Amino acid sequence: MRISKKIVLFSLLGLCLVFTAFRNNDKYFLIAKNLDIFAAFYRELNTYYVEDLPPEKLMQRGIEAMLEETDPYTDFVPEEELDELRFMATGRYGGVGTSIYTDGEWTSITDVYEGSPMAKAGVKAGDIIVSLDGKSAKNMEQDEVSRFLKGNPGTTLSIVLRHPISNVEKTYKIVREDINVKPVSFTGYVQKDVGFIKMTQFTESSAEQVQAAFEKLKKDNPQLKGVILDLRGNPGGLLEEAVALSNIFIEKNKLIVSTKGKVKSWDREYRTAQTPIDVNIPLVVLTSRSSASAAEIVAGAVQDLDRGLVVGQRSYGKGLVQTTRPLPYNAKLKVTTARYYTPSGRCIQAIDYSHRNEDGEADYVPDSLRKSFVTAGGRPVKDGGGIEPDAKVDNMMLSQVAITLLRKQYIFDYATQYYYAHPSVKGPAEFDLTDEEFEAFVKFLDGKDYSYKTRSEEALENFRSTASREKYYDGLAKEFEALQQKMKHDKKQDLLKNKTEIRQLLEEEIMNRYYPQVGRIEKSLSWDKDVEEAVALIGNADKYRQLLGKKN
């Protein structure tokens, strides 16, 4: 009996191995078969089609079609676009150190980075690009302008700029340099005893810069009561930098993130490797809907290990890890190879790309399928939808009039005029736009087109379209027109009704002229609701510990 059982067992194992080998061979056969068909199809099409077909364009279309079956983070990167990939990893690129915006016929300089070639040449925000290397910039697409500005360090750009007030044109010879966009864009104090660090991306050495910023805050103020790490709008970057940053506040040998994918030999656990700087100081991490990837790894680790609180809005929900693979002719494949998991074991990926509807569209993981996990201290947390904040703050919605003024560049243009009319102003913390100066802005808008539809008007238009399709509109036409008339907005009244937020936007843009990169951030701290909540929690030890699930 024992011998027959063994024979049966070995027979079943043999069959399993045969079926497994068959399945694998079947898969590789299908790949080889379809590659042969694809090559033959292209050969016949190229030989006999009545017109010449551009091979590079045709193959690019084929690659794009294949990528449609994957997630948006898996991508083909040709050699000419490798600089973009390098910038995402290092924060460095070859160029002149400026941001631009194209509005109508012309492109304006919107930001000049401190210490950049443009800054050294005396170029200011508001300057208008007239020509680039002898080619007129009028009606030039913004992407084309950007290509002119970028280039190998050491090469020279000849650029003609027009002064926004005097209209005087001046030629500059700008030598491109290796531009390093700093991942820590601002370090300071919200109050005298609460530190604030704004981090914009996870690139090489970004954790070192955060550590240096934190150590400086502690050195300058030994009585520091807490620190706010602002990761709002941070799209992420290098996973290793997220682990190193977490290590500043989390003790050695703690699991921060693990990765699991199809290639099991690539699965990894990432733990803190160094002695931390401070494991006791109250810590608040700010997140928003656009905080993603490495930013979510840090927020997830801080939350799961009960090291601090997450405040703001639910994060984006990108729980996928990408790896670059070499391709012929210096091209690269950026491919999703794994999912990452926070210390509690949850994957916070919000969109399920493995299951699509009939239209081929991926959707969010439904709440009914989100699983529950617990933090180190036993607090409940969920997977499948980004990082939920411990203290949620409603996202501030700008009014339609404010959005239109930003989009039309009127706030930017007024700040330019203000800058040249006022040689010096108070610092960001003390600067306030007077009522007279706001009135000057209202007069500045006279005769300018900033028409827009309010959200109520848009909803009413949608109602009319639906009623017309369903044949109800004719009977409601009079009532609709009367309601439309009542809702018609007065643009000047809308300016006054939304004066506070428009004034704040003006003050931020004006401060950015006098204190590039940091002025806008520092000025915004005085009315930032997320920061206000973070400061309140740091100042209230009982509430802070309560949200962490700790007994007072």
Mind telling me the catalytic residues?
Answer: 293, 304, 318
Q: 403 is written with which tokens?
A: 């959005």
Amino acid identity of residue 176, one-letter, is R
User: Which residue, among 396, 379, 401, 415, has the nearest Cα to 533 in the 3D structure?
Assistant: 396
Assign 3-class secondary structure to 191-202: ECCEEEEEECCE
| Residue 84: CB atoms within 10 Å | 11
The residue assigned the tokens 């209202």 is: 442
In angstroms, the first-to-last Cα distance of the chain is: 67
- Whether the Cβ atoms of residue 234 and residue 199 lie closer than 8 Å to each other: yes
Q: 151 is written with which tokens?
A: 């280039």
- Whether the Cβ atoms of residue 95 and residue 179 lie closer than 8 Å to each other: yes
| Cα angle 150-154-159, degrees, rounded to a multiple of 5 | 55
- Whether the Cβ atoms of residue 381 and residue 374 lie closer than 8 Å to each other: yes
Q: How far apart are CA 476 and CA 483, in angstroms?
A: 11
Q: Tell me how far CA of residue 499 lies from CA of 9, 434, 439, 441, 506, in angstroms.
A: 80, 12, 10, 11, 10
Q: Is the dihedral of CA 166, 168, 169, 172 positive or negative?
A: negative
Q: Give pairs for 99-103: CB < 8 Å, separation 24+.
A: 100/129, 100/142, 100/145, 100/146, 100/149, 101/142, 101/409, 101/412, 102/140, 102/141, 102/142, 102/145, 103/408, 103/409
- Whether the Cβ atoms of residue 312 and residue 530 lie closer than 8 Å to each other: yes
List, as one string, the DSSP characters of 242-286: HHHHHHHHS-TT-EEEEEEESSGGG-EEEE--S--S-SSS-EEEE
Adjacency order of strands within the sheet including 283-287: 184-191, 194-199, 226-230, 283-287, 309-312, 391-392
Give the strand pairing for 268-271 and 283-287. unpaired
3 state SS of 100: strand
For 385-487, where are the E strands, in sequence order?
Answer: 391-392
Q: How far apart are CA 283 and CA 342, in angstroms?
A: 18
Q: How far apart are CA 536 and CA 529, in angstroms?
A: 11
Amino acid identity of residue 379, one-letter, is R
Contacts of 331 (CB under 8 A, 6+ apart): 76, 77, 78, 79
The values of phi and psi at residue 28, to 5°, are -70, -30
